[in-house]
Amino acid sequence: MIPTRRSGRRNAIVAGVAIVAVGASIAVVLMSHRAAASTTPSSVSNDPNKTGCPAAVADVTWSHPADVTLTQQDANKSTPAHGGATVEIDLPAGYFWSFVGGVNSGSAGAISPISPAGVYESTGNLCAWRFIAPASGVTMLHFERRCLPQPGKLCSDIVIIYAFVLSAS
């Protein structure tokens, strides 16, 4: 019986090494995909529990400036954006933000998010998402804002939805 246990342990170790190898392969593929996104994340990390921004990176150096930049004040307004334009949504840090999704109406192609998404930008104390506008049509992007809990302060369960409307032509 003892040799069986050892071989069972040996099999478990071999299986564990195989799982680690697969995980490392996936990490390499994800890192190469991130590099293909035309961004260079800095070495600065982000703590979503402190900023509310979902990405683990901060202060990303983008390859070019956004063609259209929208803020919280632009919610529920129609904004023109030519097909292929880089659209940046900047929302104030200090809340838990999440991108719920985009709805296309009569568009030629879907809106494409650029990774990393929801990065913390320390210079403006904001969370930033970038997208590539579709060729034509109307696209609505939905974001949810929730309370960011802080020690000793009450936090409401209210969820506020922000919709950004892009009109591409």
Number of domains in the chain: 2
Beta strand spans in 1-136 (E)? 39-40, 61-62, 68-71, 78-80, 86-92, 95-105, 112-121, 126-132
Residues 110-145: tens digit of each pLDDT: 788 898 899 999 999 999 999 998 888 888 999 999
30 with 57, same domain: the answer is no
The burial class, CB within 10 Å (0-12 / 13-18 / 19+), for 64 is exposed
64 with 87, same domain: the answer is yes
How far is residue 63's CA from residue 148's CA, in Å, rounded to a whole number? 31
Please tell me what DSSP assigns to residue 96. E
101 with 160, same domain: the answer is yes
Residue 5 has pLDDT above 70, yes or no: no
133 with 63, same domain: the answer is yes
26 with 53, same domain: the answer is no
Tell me the C-alpha to C-alpha distance, in Å, between residue 121 and each of 55, 61, 139: 11, 10, 25
28 with 99, same domain: the answer is no
Residues 88-106: tens digit of each pLDDT: 999 999 999 999 988 777 6
66 with 105, same domain: the answer is yes
Residue range(s) defining the domain that contains residue 2: 1-36
22 with 56, same domain: the answer is no
Report the CATH number that the domain containing residue 47 is assigned in CATH.
2.60.40
